[in-house]
Amino acid sequence: MYTLYCGNKNYSSWSLRAWLLLAHYGIPFEERMVSVSGRGVSEEHRAYSGNGLVPCLHDGDFQIWETLAIAEYLAERHPGIWPGDPLARARARSISAEMHAGFGALRGAMPMNVKLRLKGRPAAPEVQTDIDRVVAIWSEARQQFGQGGQWLFGGFSAADAMYAPIVWRFATYNVQLPAIAQAYCDAMLELPAMKLWEMGALAEKACIAECDALVAEYGGAR
């Protein structure tokens, strides 16, 4: 059975991605929650993660870190994690890699905080550029490949897991979205595994001050 080292559910966006794949597909795993007190590499994590970050998946004594590597490792052993159609699969991998490497302005301005529901504010230009790109990615995937279900490529895939933290960010910071993107967000928020993650986040007591301090900046709670 796998072991997944992951961070606080309220804040740890990268942990959500790996956790969601395991939970949604019903892959047995043991969850080991560790504290994420801030951003970046932590020496405390190196005992169980080669790059000093979470998530890190253990298969026996073997470690797999970086979320995309975890997704690929699981996909080789558990069918259905990537779309079956070659073109859809290539596009899913492209947008997942783009998510992994990009959207720094959006991430920095809107850190994941599952507990909060804020009134929102107009986005800075560089943040709006990232939002517009996410909306374009979602809209294109839904229109070109998503006719068979509610998710980006019809059936749920690793691409949906990669964008799950963005769904939480849009919900937390009350980002106004066009119809296709909003419908996708609504469906993701109702996913049973996302509901389980939310329950865990709401039960947590840990606080990262720099994330919670954004309440006033975004007009307070709704």
* Interval 2-11: pLDDT, tens: 999 999 999 9
Q: What is the CA radius of gyration of the chain?
A: 17
Query: Can you give the chain as a three-state secondary structure string?
Result: CEEEEECCCCCCHHHHHHHHHHHHCCCCEEEEECCCCCCCCCHHHHHCCCCCCCCEEEECCEEEECHHHHHHHHHHHCCCCCCCCHHHHHHHHHHHHHHHHCCHHHHHHCCCCCCCCECCCCCCHHHHHHHHHHHHHHHHHHHHHCCCCCECEEECCHHHHHHHHHHHHHHHCCCCCCHHHHHHHHHHHCCHHHHHHHHHHHHCCCCCHHHHCHHHHCCCEC
Q: What is the pLDDT of residue 66?
A: 94
Q: How would residue 51 be classed by pLDDT, with cut points 50, 70 and 90?
A: confident
Q: What is the pLDDT of residue 92?
A: 98
Q: Which residues contact 108 (CB under 8 A, 6 or more apart)?
A: none
Calpha distance 137→168 (Å, rounded): 17
Q: What is the pLDDT of residue 41?
A: 63
Backbone dihedral region for residue 105 (phi beyond 0: left; psi -120 to 50: alpha; all else: beta): alpha
Q: What is the pLDDT of residue 34?
A: 87
The answer to whether residue 207 scores a pLDDT higher than 90 is no
pLDDT tens track for 138-178: 999 999 999 989 999 999 999 999 999 999 999 999 999 99
Burial class (CB in 10 A: 0-12, 13-18, 19+), 3: middle
The answer to whether residue 180 scores a pLDDT higher than 80 is yes
The answer to whether residue 120 scores a pLDDT higher than 80 is yes
Q: How would residue 40 be classed by pLDDT, with cut points 50, 70 and 90?
A: low
Q: What is the pLDDT of residue 37?
A: 59
Calpha distance 165→106 (Å, rounded): 11
Task: Tell me the domains of the chain and their CATH numbers.
Answer: 2-77 (3.40.30.10), 86-203 (1.20.1050.10)
Type of residue found at 66 = E
Q: What is the pLDDT of residue 38?
A: 52
Strands 2-6 vs 29-33: parallel, antiparallel or unpaired: parallel
Q: What is the pLDDT of residue 20?
A: 98
Q: What is the pTM of this model?
A: 0.95
Tell me how far CA of residue 88 lies from CA of 16, 82, 132, 139, 147, in angstroms. Answer: 23, 9, 21, 14, 12
Q: What is the mean pLDDT of residues 194-221?
A: 86
Average pLDDT, the chain: 93
Tokens of 91: 């596009």
Q: How would residue 39 be classed by pLDDT, with cut points 50, 70 and 90?
A: low
